Amino acid sequence: MPEDHKSLLRRFYDEVNAGNLAAMDELLADDLIEHEETPGLEPNKEGVKQFFAMFRSAFPDLHMDAHEMLADGDLVCARITTTGTHQGEFLGIPPTGKRIEVEAIDIVRMRDGRAVEHWGVTDTIAMLQQLGVVQEEAPAQP
């Protein structure tokens, strides 16, 4: 069963990469709980679908690359790298034309072949720095 969970999560990333967001209807449970909240979006299946539609619109070449994946019982965890070129508005940020490369960790609870709960940790500060929205801090001097 844990291998099935890994392949389901891998399929989710593949469908997002291909721009096939309609696959989310099949891969996400109707009662999905999203713990990595985005301001202005509901922490549920519809909110996740809206987030990825917005993300792909802002970064049309969006690619999520899964590295290590671990599964235990009904949980699967992945370390991923997300890349893309900022070509559309994203969270109020006008297009910059800049490329991002952002690390993240996803933990997903699976039930009956669908994701029912998601926790994520994304290096959002690194993404904002790469887009030029947030300045990188100078290293502290000893």
User: What phi and psi values does residue 23 have, to the nearest 5 degrees?
Assistant: -65, -20
Report CA-CA distances (Å) from 81 to 1, 32, 92: 25, 23, 23
Q: What is the mean pLDDT of the chain?
A: 94
| 105 beta partners | 79, 121
Question: pLDDT digits over 56-88, tens only?
Answer: 999 999 999 999 999 999 999 999 999 999 999
Q: What is the pTM of this model?
A: 0.91
Which residues in the chain come in under a pLDDT of 50?
A: none
Give the pLDDT of residue 138.
65
Detail the DSSP E strand segments found in 1-142: 28-34, 63-72, 75-85, 99-111, 114-122
In angstroms, the CA 107 to CA 13 distance is: 13
Domains contained in the chain, CATH given: 2-130 (3.10.450.50)
